[in-house]
């Protein structure tokens, strides 16, 4: 057996004090890290902003100001910006929008639901994305939960509504008919059959096991009829529920409108993809507002998330059609279709409790109420 040789009497190791040892290790570590950096880090070309990029930040500030002015009970008009006054734009924060607020308050959190019922309710609501359709179904079925979910019954109800001339799908986005293998005579029947099949196959449990937004998106985009844009929107909506606690700053998937907005805001994307541009913008938001002397009122301390920056690109695409008509996007659209119509005074928003915002919002509402009463 070969014995391990030690230093031996004539091969004694030099003795270093602790300071010399630490300094040597630091120098070796620094050299090693520098070598790794020189091999792996390539400086990326940053995106090159256009004039519309300034408008992006000013639009975000003014749209958020309108949100707060309305909450404070100010009378219309809530802005001197004629484009914002006359046309419909979503809020700076997606979760503040009317349909998202309805989803959070009336679909997800009216009471405590099981995982399976929660996923069913969110996906059923979002497939149609129309408050009137949801309320019609709830009035007929009672609580929309798995025991009450019948494809035949819902098909009858929705077919009757269509027969009466109602529109059951929202115009906000188009739900595709799906691949030929699952198509039905009526699109809504196909979506109901698809949802029933996903429940049978354990989709809620599969989704709840994911470890991040990217993985949740990957699960959803693999489903029939759920393309990239819808899968990301549905992932965001599921993440509002108590069964998901995923970061909105981890993953983003730009939709068609956001892509057009990005192309208007930058003359070149440099070495960045469109998704990376959204991340770049979200990471720099404080510096970008400050550089323009803008004060942005956040959502009670919550900064703009990737989904919000994505939506802002979509809205700035529309806004720039009027304000920057010389900057043409991929679609070539030159007009904003939807006009603003007030739907009455907004109520105080309510967000997923895990965000920790609702106590602050109640305090805000109380202060506004006291001010209005002269207290």
Tell me the C-alpha to C-alpha distance, in Å, between residue 160 and each of 133, 139, 151, 163, 191. Answer: 12, 14, 14, 5, 16
At residue 373, the pLDDT reads: 61
pLDDT mean over 191-203: 96
pLDDT at 64: 98
Mean per-residue pLDDT of the chain: 88
- With cut-offs at 50, 70 and 90, classify the pLDDT of residue 175: confident
Secondary structure (3-state) at 266: strand
Question: Given a cut of 60, is residue 7 above it in pLDDT?
Answer: no
pLDDT of residue 3 exceeding 50: no
Report pLDDT for 22.
53
In this structure, are residues 227 and 207 in contact, taking their beta carbons and an 8 Å threshold?
no
Give pLDDT, residue 50: 97
Domain limits of the chain? 47-95+252-375, 110-241
Q: How far is CA 263 from CA 91, 255, 256, 273, 289, in A?
A: 21, 12, 11, 11, 20
pLDDT of residue 39: 41
Question: Which secondary structure element, helix H or strand E, spans residue 49, and what is its range?
Answer: strand 48-49
Coil, strand or helix at 314: helix
Q: Which residues contact 51 (CB under 8 A, 6 or more apart)?
A: 324, 327
Q: What's phi and psi for 122, nearest 5 deg?
A: -65, -50
């Amino acid at each position: 057996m070969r014995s391990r040789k030690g230093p031996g009497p004539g091969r004694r190791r030099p003795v270093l004090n602790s300071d010399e040892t630490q300094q040597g290790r630091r120098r070796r570590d620094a050299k090693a890290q520098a070598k790794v950096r020189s091999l792996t880090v390539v400086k990326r070309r940053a995106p090159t902003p256009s004039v519309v990029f300034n408008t992006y930040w000013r639009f975000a500030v003014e749209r958020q100001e309108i949100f707060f002015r309305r909450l404070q009970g100010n009378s219309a008009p809530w802005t001197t910006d004629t484009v914002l006054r006359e046309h419909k734009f979503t809020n700076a924060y997606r979760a503040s929008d009317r349909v998202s607020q309805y989803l959070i308050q009336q679909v997800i959190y009216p009471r405590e639901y099981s995982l399976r019922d929660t996923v069913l309710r969110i996906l059923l609501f979002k497939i149609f994305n129309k408050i009137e359709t949801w309320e019609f179904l709830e009035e007929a079925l009672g609580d929309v939960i798995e025991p009450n979910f019948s494809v035949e019954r819902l098909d009858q109800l929705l077919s009757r509504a269509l027969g009466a001339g109602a529109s059951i799908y929202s115009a906000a986005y188009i739900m595709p008919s799906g691949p030929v293998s699952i198509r039905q005579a009526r699109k809504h029947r196909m979506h109901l059959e698809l949802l029933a099949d996903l429940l049978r196959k354990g989709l809620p449990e599969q989704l709840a096991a994911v470890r991040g937004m990217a993985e949740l998106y990957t699960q959803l985009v693999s489903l029939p009829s759920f393309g990239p844009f819808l899968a990301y929107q549905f992932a965001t909506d599921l993440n509002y529920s108590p069964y998901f606690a995923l970061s909105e700053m981890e993953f983003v998937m730009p939709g068609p409108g956001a892509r057009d907005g990005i192309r208007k805001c930058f003359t070149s994307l440099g070495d960045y993809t469109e998704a990376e541009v959204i991340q770049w913008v979200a990471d720099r938001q404080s510096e970008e507002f400050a550089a323009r002397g803008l004060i942005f009122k956040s959502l009670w301390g919550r900064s703009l998330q990737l989904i919000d920056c994505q939506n802002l690109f979509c809205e700035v695409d529309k806004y720039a059609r009027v304000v920057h008509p010389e900057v043409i996007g991929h679609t070539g659209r030159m007009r904003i279709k939807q006009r603003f119509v007030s739907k009455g005074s907004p109520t105080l928003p309510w967000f997923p409790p895990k965000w920790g915002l609702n106590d602050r919002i109640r305090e805000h509402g109380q202060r506004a109420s006291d001010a209005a009463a002269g207290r």
